[in-house]
Amino acid sequence: MKTLNNLLIVTLIFLFLGSCEVQEGRNLNGADTTSISEDVSRGELGDAIAGILSDMRDRIETQVDATSVLGREYWRIQSSDPRWTGDLLTGLLDDNTFYTTAPYSARYATVKDINLVLEGLVNSTADFTEAEKAAARGLVNTLKAHELLMVLNAQYQNGIRIEVSDPDNLGSFVGYSEALSSLSSILSDASSDLLNAGASFPFPIPSGFEDFNTPSTFDEFNKALAARIAVYQGNYTEALALLSESFLDLGGDLNSGAYFTFSLTGADLSNQLFFAQNSTIANARIAHPTFITDAEAGDTRLNKAPLRDAPLTADGLTGENDVFIYQSNVDPVGIIRNEELILLYAEANHINDPTEAVNAINIIRNAAGLPNYSGGTAPADLVNEILQQRRYSLFAEGGHRWIDVRRFDRLGDLPLDRPGDGTAEQFPIPQNENQ
């Protein structure tokens, strides 16, 4: 993926940084927020959407780290902050600290950006065609669903606020199942807009979405997100229908998909999920030892966790393997990839068409240097195999293992590394949300 060169980092300071009140941001990539919401111009629309895509990257590293630690994918070692190896490994999570509040705030800040743009499209006196407005709505509502799903994945049964467009009258929390249904509806409405949006977007699309740079191809990204939600719901028939309209390609590049991109130019962001190999106790990500010991012999996905020059020990934990998904601080970070779609396809087929599920599993296994699957084809057997492949294919990419073991009631299977350690099924609602 090419580096994103044209986005300026958006310094939005609003929403939930210590209050449940939605507050106004200072700018959207240079545009005044009042100007955006009251009468967005053609130029402002492009800047605002660039700002949304830029803001989506904010505090991604915190959410990935926290959920990956909870899922025992890796340990986050930071000598200056014992909460990484304390709270997150004991399962006693704080409702008023960075790993809870920072990702929550960042995601809702992006939702605020999106709501400003949606309001501006309604009020705009610019010469947008109806197709252009549909294109903008379809894109930003797809991104809105993604951001809210990120919050929901962390909050789980706590539920989330879906409706936050009026900062003086926030919507109530809705439970997990209802929230998934609401996000599915947002994506469906966005898809309808994208399919009525004409041949092109009226603004530039960053390089991380280069495969989705028209309304019709962006709809494939939309359908991929919707399929992820359908699988979380256990609605496998719907998931298969959505996957058929997504960018799923059983014979394609496993890494094709949508990405966050980074650069070191100007005020842009670098990839904070990158640490050099053999990082010290000051800042390191150490693969959980079971990621190595539970792997099948010959699995090339173990190259995501190369052996260190020397083990690292901290807080009663000793690990010998680094997490090394990204080779530089400008490497792109996947939002959703074809590899995940193939595994979603396997899961969606595992009950009614186990042969097709095994075919999909074998695509993933063979790509990792493993022989074809030779185990049982009962649903329980296939779930075990699919979760194993998801563990290695999606390692350290976004808390997938924690979400997976939770949705199959297997949190108790996660290893506990020290006396007093435990698991957590969700992050607490930020403290000030309850005031």
Task: Provide the residue-wise pLDDT of the chain in tens; the chain has 435 residues.
Answer: 333 233 223 333 333 333 333 333 334 554 557 779 999 999 999 999 999 999 999 999 999 999 999 999 999 999 999 999 999 999 999 999 999 999 999 999 999 999 999 999 999 999 999 999 999 999 999 999 999 999 999 999 999 999 999 988 999 999 999 999 999 999 999 999 999 999 999 999 999 999 999 999 999 999 999 999 999 999 999 999 999 999 999 999 999 999 999 999 988 999 999 999 999 999 999 999 999 999 999 999 999 999 999 999 999 999 999 999 999 999 999 999 999 999 999 999 999 999 999 999 999 999 999 999 999 999 999 999 999 999 999 999 999 999 999 999 999 999 999 999 999 999 999 998 875
Across the strands, what pairs with 257? 337
Tokens of 206: 């960053």
Across the strands, what pairs with 160? 174
Distance between CA atoms of residues 95 and 158, nearest Å: 12
* Pairing mode, strands 284-287 and 257-260: unpaired
The residue type found at 49 is I
